[in-house]
Structure 1
């Protein structure tokens, strides 16, 4: 009989990450154009006060080599559109309060019942983001959407080197309380506009008729690439998306007897994510602390003081997570 688990797992030490899309010489040239735009002397985010326009350290960290490529892929390799979208997201991140307002303390009331849980990783190392609508505990409000954004950011904190996407696992059993069309469209808009190339799969189970109709209603607002990632009423273990030891037993067919206890789960999740992010930022500083440093490099377990700023011609070695899997309590 498996032990009950109350805490999230850090990424496993060994993963089979999906191959990162190869970049052609022409595409590399486009990335360098984007890089040059954000690296030039006197750069300021358009539409911001002159004194506040220059990039903050958090924004330079966010504008990684891979981030630039994600936006280029999302705009089908149109440099001007990629720059425009990156600047739109930079401005949104500031105005939405990602650096000061949307904190763990602010959104914690939304997480008390475990309606959204980060747990386990698929066979390619993508973090599993569970949504359990039946556990909804608050009325619709801006904070509900802010909670979704905060959880997206924590998914990114749990992505090891060469992992850029996440899996949504949505269970509509037990009289799920569905969000309104307005809230759904707002969340979809945020994800599509400001988190491009971040969804690996959306795995949905126990889909009743009304929810099926709901998805049909919102599908026109979802881009065609995202629609192809939607999988309904799947068996995530038998269909090869997750190994049994990385998925919940209840409803999903894994062997992890997970139970949500907020006082155990929440502080551990925050601790894991904060530790990883702090280590990455320190490594990023050692690599030069500037725009365009590779995520695959700063996510290495250790970066020495002899490391140099990111060079596109440098081969990025494979990275290996150093964090132990959380033990069952």
Structure 2
């Protein structure tokens, strides 16, 4: 019998793990970034003075793992380099419309055919984003790009503890209208600039000659590290990347999935909202500040540390507490008791 709704986030107990420990140099750079954004008088530069304070949702976005993603994106060159990229993304997120314009109702017309949907998880718990160009239903527009990133943002609400990346599944079967070179370049630029370290694996099947030529044109603009993550015509089940019950038949799985918008869309939105609401509730209980760990508020428990890293974590917490008094003892106590959003390549 066909399945019409997304699968729930799997139990990752014993399969996922928190971020690895940092070297002393890396820890110092991380602490500098944390101190910058955690300062009591921090104001986002380049915006009107009255809008400079971080919104709660922005603090929620600036997690421990998020800061590390941007530090890795600049190859740990410096705290200043990561800070600049983070601030550029914070400003982009406001300008793009994440906090007012881009809603489920606004982008829904782009999703009625199922040209982009999320279904199942790979063996590492990554949610799988399916793209089917043959189901394109609208003329090329900025809203198509907005829909692309709406789905990416929702994907992040389906990443369980220890999961930070996605699995991208592109099926070029059947004839479809493909995005222009300019739109593809724009999407890639946004992905590489504002969604670093988000692609786990990408699988592409049924690549016709024309699309193959198109990919040869666009691939030079893709970061070399990202290119290595793209695989053509894989057998994801035999290669041990998915279990059969977590992947659609066209990619070698056992699930007969049929997209029915009236069933899928509300179920998908509800699942994302429930996860995000639960995680934000725990995040608030932990103090609601910059630099809290996704592992903690998603998993319900703190991550194990070695003695030296425990001391460093305490130093970071004390530094943040010095500039934000309301998060000191209350936050540490809460952490002991209480256990984030693509038509192309997410980098």
Same fold (TM > 0.5): yes
Q: Measure, in 2, the Cα distance between the counterparts of 1:308 and 1:95.
A: 34
1:309 aligns with 2:331: yes
State the match for 1:189 in structure 2.
189
Q: TM-score, normalised by structure 1?
A: 0.90
Task: Tell me the secondary structure at the aligned position of residue 254 of structure 2.
Answer: coil
1:4 aligns with 2:26: no
Correspondences of 1:1-329 after superposition (within 5 Å): 3-14=1-12, 16-17=15-16, 20-77=19-76, 78-249=78-249, 251-301=250-300, 308-309=330-331
Q: Identify which range, 205-214 or 118-127, moves more after superposition.
A: 205-214
Task: Tell me the secondary structure at the aligned position of residue 75 of structure 2.
Answer: coil
Q: Structure 1, residues 18-74: CA drift from partner, whole Å, max 9, x if none?
A: 774442222111111000001113211111000101101000000000000000000
Alpha carbons of 1:201 and 1:316: their partners in 2 closer, same or farther (altered >3 Å)? farther
Task: Tell me the secondary structure at the aligned position of residue 147 of structure 1.
Answer: helix
Q: Measure, in 2, the Cα distance between the counterparts of 1:18 and 1:240.
A: 19
Q: Measure, in 1, the Cα distance between the counterparts of 2:291 and 2:337.
A: 14
Task: Tell me the secondary structure at the aligned position of residue 4 of structure 1.
Answer: coil
Q: Identify which range, 165-174 or 35-44, moves more after superposition.
A: 35-44
Q: Measure how far apart 1:310 and its partner are.
A: 5.8
Q: Measure, in 1, the Cα distance between the counterparts of 2:68 and 2:11.
A: 26
In the alignment of these two chains, the number of paired residues is 310
Q: TM-score, normalised by structure 2?
A: 0.85
CA contact (8 A) 1:18 1:124 kept: no
Moved over 6 A (4+): 314-317
In structure 2, the gaps of 5 or more residues are: 303-328, 340-347
CA contact (8 A) 1:20 1:162 kept: yes
CA contact (8 A) 1:5 1:256 kept: yes
Q: Measure, in 2, the Cα distance between the counterparts of 1:285 and 1:19.
A: 20
In structure 1, the gaps of 5 or more residues are: 320-329
Q: Measure, in 1, the Cα distance between the counterparts of 2:19 and 2:301.
A: 22
Q: Measure how far apart 1:153 and its partner are.
A: 0.3
Q: Give the helix-richer structure, 1 or 2.
A: 2
Alpha carbons of 1:301 and 1:257: their partners in 2 closer, same or farther (altered >3 Å)? farther
